[in-house]
Structure 1
């Protein structure tokens, strides 16, 4: 797997990540969603450098201009519900992409810290021979990415796979390296050292879905 770690170099993304983590700034749900969206935009720009391009001639008011434009057939697939603002950030840059949505959540069958990832909803175009951009803000255990990718096999085999996340843990990245094809790209803003005993990223930022859209009932 090719790992692209955004905060390995300093940029304005540091500001957005610091606000996403800050418990005081998190109280503003609109700003939290917008910061995820802005990180998605930055990751989109970096990801675009690895896509394929083709020449195109554009007619201007004063003549013609030749430039390279994206050749890939893109499908952006976001994991509901926390993936929605990240999806919008990607779509702001890849506005001609097709769109796919899939649900994945932690199910606690025994009402304790043990959980399984359930995938119950999928709306997607064909992925056959296309470039899949699979997005989820939080890469904790990695099991959501893995289970969703297995579910997506029913709608075609993509030619290229790009995973996009805001914050991840080393354990989750290690699982993705085992479960995804060798040439998969992971685009991630920042990587934290470990998970706690409940499978949450430390220091992380908390539950991204709740911070975006409010608390939910547990399943």
Structure 2
């Protein structure tokens, strides 16, 4: 099965309000609001993703009886790319509160203004072997950070299935990850832009998500 793309930009929903606010150059100045909107986007995408996970029927005892209910049975590991991925991670964690957690540091190391390599320098995680991996990164630009991150994760086991959760992506970046992730991967993305500029940033995008959430860096 090919990678399944769940693109919510083609649907009308409250998600569009949060996307509009994180893009708006004036509203972006409120970093608390920016982080909260990314978190809320994570909650919505997490809910949508929950519908394709595996469930089993379990019985819950109430003070007045027993009620059967379908509950998720998969072992989930939620991994985010530092630092921009933290608000998205928190949004997903609000809904998947008993998952295992992993964090990875991946960044662009520029060899020139337009050329760069991806450096993965830190990974703190449990084993991924046989589990369902949720990989969260708000900006899917070239797709190279996601691919290099996934390669680094394979040192800690091979996931049974992978779900990528992103806020904004480029068509080029999506095409790139489709070539490098396993075929049964799902991509859950709030909106997709057509192109990248000559520096590999999404246009119109929203700017640097990490800086907008946590302040500029050297």
TM-score between both structures, scaled by the size of structure 2: 0.98
* Gaps in structure 2 of 5+ consecutive residues: none
2:30 maps to 1:28: yes
Given candidates 42, 45, 53, the residue that maps to 1:43 is 45
Q: Deviations over 1:150-179 (max 9, x none)?
A: 000100000010000000000000001100
Following the alignment from structure 1 to structure 2, what is the Cα–Cα distance between the partners of residues 55 and 75?
Answer: 22
Residue 115 of structure 1 deviates from its aligned partner by 1.1
In the alignment, structure 1 residue 89 sits paired with structure 2 residue 102: no
- Structure 2 CA distance for aligned equivalents of residues 108 and 173 of structure 1: 22
Aligned positions of 1:130-209 closer than 5 A: 130-209=131-210
Structure 2 match to 1:73: 75
TM-superposition CA deviations, 1:86-143 (whole Å, max 9, x none): 0000000000100000001111134x22111110000000000000000000000000
1:54-98 per-position Cα deviation (integer Å, ceiling 9, x unaligned) = 111001111110000001100000000000000000000000100
User: Of the candidates 98, 104, 107, which is equivalent to residue 105 of structure 1?
Assistant: 107
Which residue is 2:15 aligned to?
13
Cα distance in structure 1, aligned partners of 2:159 and 2:118 = 23
Mapped partners of 1:172, 1:113: distance in 2: 16
**Number of equivalences:** 216
Q: Which runs of 4+ in 1 moved over 6 A?
A: none
Alignment partners' CA distance in 2, 1:113 and 1:210? 20
Q: Deviations over 1:35-72 (max 9, x none)?
A: 00000000000000010001110011111100000011
Q: With the length of structure 1 as denominator, give the TM-score of the two structures.
A: 0.97
**Structure 1: unaligned runs, 5 residues or longer:** none
User: Any idea what SS the aligned residue of 1:51 has?
Assistant: coil
1:7 Cα deviation from its structure 2 partner: 2.1
Provide the alpha-carbon RMSD of the alignment. 0.6
